[in-house]
A = this chain, B = another copy of it.
């Protein structure tokens, strides 16, 4: 673990990189204790605040955890699925919102990935997953539901669909795609009729998954994808028309 003295700026970034590389290469195994801040400071020939800034960078990525006290210190952290989900969602959401990603592009990506899960979900779904999907579909029927709550339930439904594939890596990869769509979906106002169409498709998807009919589920997801894009298109058209007449 060395740092390059030729690049004087951003010492904390260099130190963070050195430690990150050591962790990713496996040189520092999980739960290994890093040297104390004072020792790291001496080792890298920097002050303790600089070392601390580096450690905070790593903590932000859940690469280390810190503990106070006599036997405390910074430890290499086992990255949990939950932490990875969170980072994935944060990054995906910002990526979409900051780069003017069109609804069509994001939607295409999301449904392409979900359809990849469908055959596995059909094969491995448990009663628990089916129950969650039906519960969310039922929640979506409630008349007083706000658009936001409708979207949140939609996300929960699709997460259950993905989780039914029984592959945690797949669930992790899809978390970003599904969750990051929510802010985009929230821009849509759902009429009672369009809600009913979506709910119908959700029920059909659930039925197909329960019947372990992958082809049917794929077809329904394809329909849902097309309908969602159509809804978004209408919103955009209306917005443009309103802008012209104004």
Chain A residues within 8 Å of B, Cβ to Cβ: 12-13, 16, 20, 23-24, 26, 30, 49, 52-54, 56-61, 63, 78-81, 84, 87-88, 90-99, 101, 105-106, 108-109, 112-113, 115-117, 119-120, 165, 167-170, 172-174, 176-177
- The answer to whether A170 touches B108 (Cβ under 8 A) is yes
Contacts of A30 in B (CB 8 A): 98
A-B contacts, 8 of them at CB < 8 A, read A26-B97, A56-B57, A78-B98, A81-B99, A87-B87, A95-B172, A112-B119, A113-B173
Contacts of A54 in B (CB 8 A): 56
Instruction: State the Cβ distance, A81 to closest chain B Cβ, in Å.
Output: 7
- The answer to whether B79 touches A95 (Cβ under 8 A) is yes
- The answer to whether A105 touches B173 (Cβ under 8 A) is no
**C-alpha gap A63/B87 in the complex (Å):** 12
**C-alpha gap A220/B87 in the complex (Å):** 33
Instruction: State the Cβ distance, A170 to closest chain B Cβ, in Å.
Output: 4
- The answer to whether B173 touches A177 (Cβ under 8 A) is yes
Closest to A165 in B: B112
Instruction: State the Cβ distance, A85 to closest chain B Cβ, in Å.
Output: 10
Closest to A58 in B: B60
Contacts of A57 in B (CB 8 A): 56-57, 59-60
Contacts of A59 in B (CB 8 A): 13, 57
- The answer to whether B108 touches A61 (Cβ under 8 A) is no
**C-alpha gap A115/B176 in the complex (Å):** 19
- The answer to whether B91 touches A169 (Cβ under 8 A) is no
